Structure 1
């Protein structure tokens, strides 16, 4: 799936809580988060499974082979994507696919679909203007906190800065729906360049938290991700893409 991620880069004892199947997005962080996550226990599906069409799989296979054969060129493209803030790079035959296949993948957004790989319950607790999210099952994190005064979030001991309200008004995404929410992020690194290789000098820490609402399915969406590299070795790597049951 690493090549798929790169290709995407190139071109987010308590009672059970109940809540309305509608949500009015106000861009008021306190109000919206409390509406999306009422106090109690909420069950989620872990939507970490990713599938794609047969045609996309064949294109990805060709792309993966080209990635290995043209690693230096791909490193340069990764750096370009970062500098241009995610703008897709022009087609190049070194991608290992035809122009028609390139256009297909860009238009179809890789034909990706998601499916459940398990369930997870979250205990939602409000104390002193803070939201505490505590998993009731074994996970790679013990607790998430959102501070409504500072607007900062934490995943265990890692502090994430508030990004901005999110308002996705297009449906060409993995949910096939518009959706709205809020995002937090923490990133620190000892380098400004992106590489496909984990160099022995690389130190990298990236954590993300997203809380939102999927308009078409009327589900609460939470994305929790953490990754750390230390001198080329991955020391932390987890992701939970959650949709309310």
Structure 2
């Protein structure tokens, strides 16, 4: 199976909760990104599924997306983005206290991508774990980093979002297949200068809508659907 949707509008949305940062504030000290070289345009998708550049652009604004080549791992994308963020922040991996990775497409169920990155970057002092919250994983990662810094349990946290979703796409479903691509982004979060930093967080979940976007029975790190 692959990523599918069963969209149904709701009028009784669960209200969001606002969390004000208590303690010292945090801020993003550096950012990094990495995307595979292969670019798949809307016109490429026209050749393998029932859709058009006009249909995709009008509904999503997307004109192209990056796809990883066969054999490229989520770990590779995440590590490249992480190193770029560290360079941008002027820090070494050995400075890190924590590594958080948000992904729905890990290379395997365990060990976590975060632990693998800790090894790849040589950051022995960093505690590391993955977050699974689909599209919101990076935001939850930033919020978690902020909480640890606010409580003075960490000073330098690396937050990464990385996906290789092209191998999970259902090309018979243009509602989802046209949206997703592959890539990674990372941010180094540190204590903020006086008068700056994150002020609060607004988070919410609605488990009643779980059936609207689903992905099941995909062998992690091995599934390879037909690609354009």
Larger relative contact order, structure 1 or 2 (CA cutoff 8 Å, min sep 6): 2
User: Could you say which structure has the higher strand fraction?
Assistant: 1
Q: What's the TM-score once normalised by structure 1's chain length?
A: 0.21
